[in-house]
Each structure stands twice: as structure tokens, then as C-alpha cells.
Amino acid sequence: MFSQFGKLHIYDRFRLIFASSCVLLGLILWQIRPEYVPAELPRIGETISVSGSTTDLGARDDLCSPLFQTDGYLLLTGTIDMLSRSFNEGFFQTANEENGIFFEFESPALVRLGVRLADGTTERIQFNSIRNANAFNFLILIQGSGRIRLVGEQTDETFEIGQIAISCNEWRIGSANESGVFDGEITMSISAGSSVKDADETLDNYIEDFDSNLPSTTYKWPLYIGLLLLALGNPFKFLQKVTED
């Protein structure tokens, strides 16, 4: 092996040594990188958990009354653990017959938020497309002005949907829009207030924690460069021909 290596042109020897070193460095960086630690959801208001069941909160006008103010807000955060994505599911609602807010799943991979508007229609907003039947976090901020902010592990989007008219006379966790009982697990927190700035700061802090906890991808650069050099051959081959000539 070493005798064959010695017969290679100097450019090929340099390429093999450099590429192998890059691959080795990439593997070392990948091996020693810190483990991923999921960002903790903010602890706000009251927390409800359901597992294969529903929890009825009934009429909770105290949670929706701030939405009559321009800077008033309703903040919903939590984790949903889906066991299957083979059929439609309802996660939670604030009223029957789509008269409030609802959060639901449409098979095979669409999660969306529904919000009742003042003109009697319902605005549906896609939250996140999930790839597997597993857990995902959600942070939903609804402002009295009609601004909606959706935050998750793959999204941070803001929507202006116009004047809202949300009813909160039939809060239910674990079902929505007359769907069957959600067979997975939901843990969610609910809070409301008069200063939407405080709620936005809560979401900003979560995003900052999430980004800082993501595993490092620095290892990819030396690893991919090394593999590319090994696969494509000598990038200095034209220099080799000039030298030989």
C-alpha cells in the first residue's frame, strides 16, 4: 500500500492526505458535539394535560376578554404527542361549531389553526407539516388586533387576518369541532393579558433558547470536503499536466 502511495504524483498524495484529514476531523467533531437539549416551553398561566381523554373547561370568558383590546392577547403553548397520522384529529377548541379558536390535524400531515372572524367566516392557518407521528411543540399568540403569531420547531410566522370575533363558551382540550377523542397526549398552558409585548418577548426568548440548543453542524464542512475530494479526484490535475509538460 505504501509503495503504491509513493508512486503517486505529489498532487495526488497531497489530495489523499488532506482529504483523509478532513474526513477524520469531521468525524471527530461529530463525535464530540454536545447532545441536543430541547428548549423548554415557557411556563405561563394554567396548565392542562390530557392523555386519550378530554378536559372540558366550559365557558372561560376571562381568557378571551383581553381580545376586545387592540393590545390584548391570548397565548397558548404546549406539546402534542401524536400516536398516528392516519386520520383527522382535533386538539382543542374554545367554542363549538367553529365559533372560536380551534387547533386540528388533517391527515396525512397538515396541522392548522382556525380563528373566527367578525364577518362570520373562519380563517384557517397552516401551522406545521409534520413528517412523522411524533411530538411537536406549538406556541400560538392571538392579538386583539387580529395578528396571529405561530411559533414551533420549524416555523415562526405572523399573519394579519383582520377583525376577530372569538367565542370562549365551550373550552375543550383533547377534541375539536365534534371530532372524536384525541388518542395521543396533550400538555398545554393558557394565559391572557393586556400587553401583547410581554407575550412576544416570551416567544422571542423561546426561539433564542431553541436556536442556541440546536446541535452544531460544524462537522459537516470538513467531512463533506474530504469526501468530495476523495470522490472527485485531484482538483489540481491541470497543474499536474502543466508540470509534466
Reading the block at residue 160, the C-alpha cell is 394579519
239 Cβ contact partners less than 8 Å away, ≥ 6 residues apart: 11
Residue 86: pLDDT over 60 = yes
What pLDDT digit, counting tens, does each position of 35-58 carry?
655 678 888 899 999 999 999 999
Reading the block at residue 219, the C-alpha cell is 462537522
Check residue 9 and give its pLDDT: 62
Q: In what order do the strands lie in the sheet with 55-58?
A: 55-58, 171-173, 89-93, 101-106, 110-116, 122-129
Q: Label residue 11 by pLDDT band (50, 70, 90).
A: low
Q: What is the mean pLDDT of the chain?
A: 84
Residue 60: pLDDT over 60 = yes
Q: What is the CATH topology of the domain spanning 46-194?
A: Jelly Rolls (2.60.120)
Mean pLDDT confidence for 140-168: 94
From CA 177, how far away is CA 199, in angstroms rounded? 27
> Model's pTM, two decimal places?
0.76
Check residue 194 and give its pLDDT: 96
Mean pLDDT confidence for 149-167: 92
Q: Label residue 132 by pLDDT band (50, 70, 90).
A: low
What pLDDT digit, counting tens, does each position of 138-148 carry?
999 999 999 99
Check residue 242 and give its pLDDT: 47
